[in-house]
Amino acid sequence: MYLDKSGSYEKSTIGWAFNRASVQTAYEEEMGAANKPVDSKYVSNLSIVGMLSELMKNAQKAHVRSNPSVLNVTDLFNETWAKGHEAAIQAALTTTRKELGFSQS
């Protein structure tokens, strides 16, 4: 997946994580609709991507509209489907940044 070729710093940003989760969610939904298995090589192992993907799937089930221009944490927290999950999202982002070798500043 082209997004996975990004550097560690970019992968630690909300903008990248949101885009990666969007692509992953679309892929998983398409495979499910086609009754085909999901290939794990297309599923990110980063905490923030997994969390956002699950929230996106839940939002789709609830027919919540998403804003495609999420570039930072503030934009993300303004998403209807992210409301109430702010602390968990922040924790997943912190975990992801640690996984990528970045300290919190």
Specify if 25 maps to a domain. Answer: yes
For residues 104 and 49, which has the higher predicted lDDT (pLDDT)? Answer: 49
Centre a 10 Å sphere on the Cβ of residue 25 and count the other Cβ atoms it contains: 20
Number of domains in the chain: 1
Domain with 28 in it? 9-99
Cα within 13 Å of Cα(104), Cβ side: 8
Contact status, residue 11 vs residue 97, Cβ threshold 8 Å: no
Specify if 2 maps to a domain. Answer: no
pLDDT given at position 67: 55
Specify if 18 maps to a domain. Answer: yes
**70 contacts: CB under 8 Å, gap ≥ 6:** 14, 15, 18, 76, 79
> Rounded to whole angstroms, how far apart are CA atoms 11 and 15?
9
Specify if 17 maps to a domain. Answer: yes
pLDDT tens per residue across span 56-75: 988 877 665 665 678 788 88
Confidence at 102, pLDDT banded by 50, 70, 90: confident
Specify if 104 maps to a domain. Answer: no
Mark out the alpha helices in the chain (DSSP H runs).
Answer: 8-11, 14-33, 47-61, 73-77, 86-99
Specify if 4 maps to a domain. Answer: no
